[in-house]
Amino acid sequence: MKYLLALFALITFNAFAEPVNINTADAETIANSLNGIGIKKAEAIIEHRTKEGDFKSVDDLAKVKGIGEKTVEKNKADIILTSSPKK
């Protein structure tokens, strides 16, 4: 029962996470905001961003080693690329 409560709390936390700007956020923020992205993958996102420049599309996240298209798809609604919405 404790396991189920802990799992529910974890899922609930991610369900209410704020969208994250993958072009500016630190690894901890990315890991806390995206499902299926732990600290190691978040660090890989930052390393890729540093070497290749800002992500131009959410789909570009799949170019990061260890992150597949399914992970990108389930997180699309929580990923932003710019600090302000386009008008």
The answer to whether the CB of 44 falls within 8 A of the CB of 36 is no
Helix (H, G, I), strand (E, B) or coil at 47: helix
Q: Is the pLDDT of residue 16 over 60?
A: no
Q: How far apart are the C-alpha atoms of 37 and 68, rounded to whole Å?
A: 11
Amino acid occupying residue 28: E
How high is the mean pLDDT of the chain?
Answer: 86
H or E element at residue 7? helix 2-15
Q: How far apart are the C-alpha atoms of 24 and 80, rounded to whole Å?
A: 10
Superfamily of domain 2-80: AF1531-like domain (1.10.150.280)
The pLDDT of 66-79, averaged and rounded, is 97
Q: Which two tokens stand for residue 53?
A: 């420049």
pTM: 0.76
